[in-house]
Structures are given as C-alpha cells and as structure tokens.
Amino acid sequence: MRLLIVEDSKQLAELLVKGLRIAGYDTDVVTTVAEAQTALLTVSYAALILDLGLPDGDGLAVLRELRRRKDPLPVLVLTARGGLHDRVNGLRTGADDYLVKPFALEELLARLEAQLRRPGQMLGNALRVANLEFDSRNRQAVIDDKPQVLSARETAVLELLMRGKGRVVSKRQVEDHIFGLSGDVASNAVEVYVHRLRKQLSEKGARVHIHTIRGVGYLIAEEKP
Amino acid sequence: MIRFKSIISRIVILHVIAVVITSVVISFALSWLLNLATGDIHNKAMEDQAASVARYLVSNPDGSVSLELPPELQGLYSQPYGRYSYAVVDADGHTLISSRKDRTAIFPTDPKSPNVGFLKFKRDDAAISGASLPKTIGDRKLWVQAGEDLANRDVLIDDIATDFFKDVGWITLPILLLLLITDIAIVRRALRPLRQASEIAEHIGPARTDVRLPVNEIPSEVRPLVLAINQALDRLQEGFRVQREFTADAAHELRTPLSILRTRVDTLDDRSIANALLADIEAMSRIVGQLLDIAELDVLVVDPDDRADLREVCAEVAEFIAPLALEQNKDVALLGTNAPVWVKGNPEMLSRAIRNLAENAVKHTPRGTVVEFTVEQNGIAKVSDRGPGIAEEERDLIFRRFWRRDRSQTGSTGLGLSIVQQIAELHGASITVENRPTRGAQFSIHFVASGNAVEKAADE
C-alpha cells in the first residue's frame, strides 16, 4: 500500500518513511506543494500525510485542490501550530484527521489505520480492542475468533465505540446513532443499552471495559488486570 | 481663557459675541451716518429757504430794501413755535429785516463770507442752525439768513432714529439668527465625515487592526491628523503581523526538530532507553507548547463579538483528557447544567484555559479519584481534584510564570496556570482558587455571560 508524504524536513520525512516501512507501507516523499500536486495526479495513493508549513506555500492548498476534484483520499494533516484556527481550517478544507507535532509514531500509525479502515478504504473493516474484534462490513462482533450474537441496538452501540476506540464517544453521538431522528429518546435509554452491552461482553469473556465518563460519554478500552 | 468642549459650542458662543458687537457698531455707525445725512438735508433746506427769501427782496427807490413774501411763505415763518426764521443783514451788521419778534439777526456773528455759509448759534435755550446766503440787491451787498430751531428738528430726527432702530432691529435680528443657524448647519455638515471616521475608529482594536479611517471625505484641515492615525495603524498592524508570524515560524522551527527527535526515538530498539527519552521529549514538547501559547497570547486579542458555549468547551476538554486520565486509573466527570452556557470569548482560548486546569487536576488527583468539571448557568466553570489542595499562602504564587512548588518535580513547567490567568484576563474573567471541604483544590473561572445567548443559540 503506497502513501504520499508531503514534508519539507528531510530528516523527519526519512524517519517517517522508515517507521512506515516497518509497519508495511510503501511511501513516496515530496517536499513542496507543487511536487505534491503532480504526484497526486500521476500516482494513486492509499492515503496522504500532509505537513502544513511548506516552502512554497500552505499544505492546505494541496488538500483544497484534492477535495475540489472530489477525491476521497484519506488525508492526515501534520501541523506545528496547535491552535484552533489550524484545526478548524484543516478539517473544513477536508482533512480527515490531524496531528500536532511532535507526535508519537505509534499515534500516527493508529490514526492512519483508522483512516484506511473506513468503509471504501484499502484496509479491511475489522476493528480490534484486546480479544474483541468488530467487523463493520457485516456488523459482526467476534470474541477470541468466535462470532457473537448481539441485539441490533447493542451492535450499533458497540460499532460506534469500536470506531472511536481510544477516544470518548459522546452520549449524544450514541443517541443519534442508535435512535437516529426517530422522535423522543428516554433520558436513560443509552445507559440501559450500554449496561446490557457491558454485561453481554463480560459474560462472553471479552477483556474490554466500557468506561462511563459522567456527563460526557463512553470509551471502550482494554481491561486492566 | 474659556475652554470649549465642542467646535459647535465654540462657534455658537463666538458667533453670538460677534453678533452683539456687530449690532452695536452697526447701530452707532448708522445713527452717525443718519445724523450726517439729516445734517446735509437740513443745510440744503436752509440754503433753499434763504434763497427763496432772497428772491422776494425788493430794492426801493430810496435805497432801502423791503421784503414782499407771498402768503404761503409768510405762513411758514409765522408759526407760533417759531421753528423757522429769517433775517436780512447788511455789510455793517445792521439787521434790515427779521422774522423774529425782537427784530434781531439770526446769526449775529455772521462772518459775511462771499459764499454760502452754514452756521449754528445758541440763543437762550434754543440752538439755531441755518444758512447765510450773500445777495446783491441794487448796489447793496446783503446777507439773507435762514435758520431752524434745532430743538424742533431733533424731535423729528429722534423719531426717525427710534423708528429706524425698531425697524432695523426687527430685520437684522432674524437675519443674524438665520446666519447663526446656517453656520451651525454648515459646521455640522463639514464635521460629518469626522463623526463617521470616529465611529469607524471606535471599532479599531488589536483584534481589528485592518480598519482604516476614510480619507476622501475628510476636510483638508483635518486630513493630516487622519492620515497620521492611519499611518500609526499601519505600523501597529505590521507589529502585530510580525509578532504573529514570528510565533508561527517559531512553532514550526521548534516543533519539527522535536518531531524528528521523537520519531527517531520511537524507532529505537532499546525500549527502556527509548521510554526514558520519550518522557524527556514529552516534557520538552510541553514547555515548547506552553511558551508558544504564551507568545501567541501576548499578541492575540479577543474579538469582542466572539462567543463560546462554556458547556461545550468543558465537554470537549473532558473528552480529550478522559483517555489520559483513564490510563492512570483516574476518572473525569462533567457536572452542572446540560444546557448551553454562552459566554464572551474565543472558544479555542477558553478551551486552552480549561485544558491547562484539567491537566493539572489529573496530575494531582490520586488514583481512583475523579476530576470534576462543573459548568454553571451564570458562566462559571469549575475544575476540581482530590489532590493535596493549595495552601492559602501559595494561591497568588501559583499563577506566576515558572513558579513551581517542587522544583525537583519533572514534567511541570510552571507555565500552565499563568496561561490560564492570561486567558482569563484577556476575557475579563476572574479566577478563584479554594480547597474543597473534604480534600482537593477547586479552580473556578467566572466568565462574562454573553448577552445574546438566545440569538446565538437560534443561529446554530
């Protein structure tokens, strides 16, 4: 799987290439906006890793051009500036995710994988936490390689939590996801489904824990010993 | 010296003073001219009278001279109050003929000049003014005098003068007032571009350094001032731009080497060394990030129109910090209102302030305890932990840059709370620190509630 890295710092680019090669990715590196535009037109990449501060302009120009062509290529933005304006600008222009420098290589790989596992992208749709796996294509939960039967709403909650693994999924997101726009939702409905899901997973031997962040949402993580 | 607050009041007051002075001067000048004119008319009339009397002088055969006035003229000189009078004198000063009862000359001191003379004479309490006209009858040189009692004439002139002032006053006063109103209108109109410029200038702030005052409409007298203000704004904007660019460049220049270092360490095979180095890089990155935050805050100014939903800001921070807290077996909770709480401020800066408080709280709260975020409807956000709390005497110190209770402790920059305070100051918010009755510290930031919360919510 080939990735394009647009990064003007040679050293950082080399290290990224090395790290990504170990993770099994092939990479091309360019250092300017112009080279990036050309590369994107000639080669079909699986994802783009884009630095914003480039010698001949703002990396966002590459992103804007890409989205103008309606190219759904997953884009991971790297930025040295941590401000909201960068974040908002980046996401509005169509970045799928962003990382503020300095970032952990592990984090970069995780974010990249999350992007590539989206429906329609290169990697399969299996999401994994500890011994729990969720295949978002056939919406199937698997524990220790054994497929499990869950109710439709429990499956919906699990899917959302697995997609957002490592991050907090807000209660509002869960409500929207399982009930959609179908009228009023009882205030404790989400708690009820999360509680049932938790019980089911624990009974079936999944070594995961669904944390409740009071007032905020839920987070699925590997169970600590 | 009187100090005027406005140009209009200065113009009105000075104009009124000028009007009063002008009115007085014009009055005196006019009455003087009027006197002069009536004097001329009088003299001419007297000369005419003398001439008409002279026309009826008859030279008798015996050498004497007699006057044969027609009846209509006789009437003029026989008026009971003796307003007009005439007399004829010869070269020796003898009065030959006189309309006066005592048969004397009107002007005893007649210089007997060869030309017409205009004379004045005071007799008893009457002031007589008139003309003396030389006339040759036969071979005799005579002077015909005609006079008018000025006491009578003054009555007339006074009438004219009084009427004049009454009439002229009625005309001039409205004219002068009209002039004053016109002046005010002209000045107001002339100053309108300045007023508009002032309104534009009101919007100029560090957040809006791109505003310039319009120059085209400004009167040329004030234009240098406006141009100077615009040039000052240019320099100001340039200063802000340079500082902002520096901050952005510094961020790039500092963070890229840190990224290189971090990635290099990430690919090291010896994980024990790598983990120690990563902790150092983490601490270094944190200091760099906070220094950049401070540099950015020094030039960033809150747009007065910015609004933020404090509940949403706290929810995002709680979401962000929760995975880090859970890793350390610590928990977070968001309490308080569930409704949006609109306050004045930049959402990103508010978020940074709350995040710094949250990071401190997560650091200090013991394992197994909860860091609580509480949002109140009146614009207060509280972050509390279950840690050791903050001693009374340290509560001012903790906001100082680089202050740390324990200098040996790593991973703390002593910058977090100074950033929080700087953000609070920029937003006109106040911070209070207290210890909870049970255990732990509680930081409260009281933000300024936004007036148009309802509109804003409706816009969403």
What confidence score (pLDDT) does residue B456 get?
44
Where exactly does CATH 1.10.287 map onto chain B? Answer: 203-301
Are the beta carbons of A102 and B261 closer than 8 angstroms?
Answer: yes
Average pLDDT of chain B to the nearest whole number: 83
For range B91-105, the mean pLDDT: 79
* Averaged pLDDT of chain A: 85
Q: B370-375 and B331-336 as β-strands: parallel, antiparallel, unpaired?
A: parallel
Which residues of chain A form beta strands (DSSP E)?
2-6, 26-30, 47-51, 53-54, 57-58, 75-79, 97-100, 126-129, 132-135, 140-143, 146-148, 169-170, 208-213, 217-222
pLDDT in tens, A24-68: 899 999 999 999 999 999 888 989 999 888 888 888 889 888 888
Q: Is B68 helix (H, G, I), strand (E, B) or coil?
A: coil
Tell me what pLDDT residue B452 has. Answer: 54
Q: Is pLDDT at B82 greater than 80 in this prediction? A: no
- Write down the pTM of the prediction: 0.63
Task: Decide if pLDDT at A90 tops 80.
Answer: no
> Which A residues in the span 129-188 are in contact with B, Cβ-Cβ below 8 Å?
166-168, 170
Q: What is the mean pLDDT of residues B30-36?
A: 81
| CATH number of the structural domain B303-459 | 3.30.565.10
Name the pLDDT band for B455 (thresholds 50, 70, 90): very low
Quick check: is A49 in a domain? yes
Does B251 contact A221 at a Cβ distance shorter than 8 Å? no
Residue contact A80–B256, C-beta within 8 A: yes
Max mean pLDDT among A49-58, A172-181, B214-223 falls in: A49-58
Quick: pLDDT tens for B148-182: 877 666 566 666 666 766 676 677 778 878 888 88
Q: Is residue A173 included in any domain, yes or no?
A: yes
Kindly state whether residues A97 and A70 are assigned to the same domain.
Answer: yes
Interchain CB contacts (distance < 8 Å): A and B: 110
**A98 and A132 co-located in one domain:** no
In chain A, % of residues over pLDDT 90: 32
Residue A137 is predicted with a pLDDT of 75
Query: Do A176 and A106 belong to one domain?
Result: no
B396-445, pLDDT tens digit by residue?
A: 888 888 887 776 665 567 888 999 999 999 999 999 999 988 889 999 99
> What CATH number is attached to the domain comprising A95?
3.40.50.2300
Does residue A141 sit in the same domain as residue A210? Answer: yes
ipTM of the complex: 0.76
- On whether both A68 and A8 belong to a single domain, the answer is yes
Contacts of A222 in chain B (CB under 8 A): none
Asked if the Cβ–Cβ distance from B251 to A81 is below 8 Å, we say yes
pLDDT, mean of residues B376-401? 91
* Same domain membership, residue A71 and residue A50: yes
Residues A11, A104 within the same domain: yes
Return the CATH number at A194.
Answer: 1.10.10.10
Span B242-265, average pLDDT: 84
Nearest Cα residue in chain A from B252: A80
- My answer on whether A38 and A77 are in the same domain is yes
- Domain count across chain A: 2
Task: Give domain status of residue A121, yes or no.
Answer: no
Average pLDDT over residues B362-390: 94
- Whether residue A82 is found in the same domain as residue A156: no
Provide the percentage of residues in chain A whose pLDDT is more than 70.
Answer: 88
CATH architecture of B7-157: 2-Layer Sandwich (3.30)
- Chain region(s) in chain B for CATH 3.30.450: 7-157
Could you say which of A76, A92, A116 is where a domain stops?
A: A116
Greatest alpha-carbon pair distance for chain B in Å reads: 166
Same domain, A6 and A111: yes
Residue A19 touches chain B, beta carbons under 8 Å: yes
Enumerate residues 6+ apart whose C-beta is below 8 A from A30: A4, A5, A6, A36, A38, A39
* Domain region containing A87: 2-116
Last residue of a domain, one of A116, A134, A159: A116
Same domain as A147, residue A90: no
Classified by CATH at the fold level, domain B203-301 comes out as Helix Hairpins (1.10.287)
pLDDT value at residue A183: 58
Predicted confidence (pLDDT) at residue B457 exceeds the cutoff of 50 = no
Contact A95, A75 (CB under 8 A): yes
Query: Quick one: A104 and A185 in the same domain?
Result: no
Q: Do B256 and A12 touch (CB under 8 A)?
A: yes
Do A217 and B319 make contact, defined as CB atoms within 8 angstroms?
Answer: yes
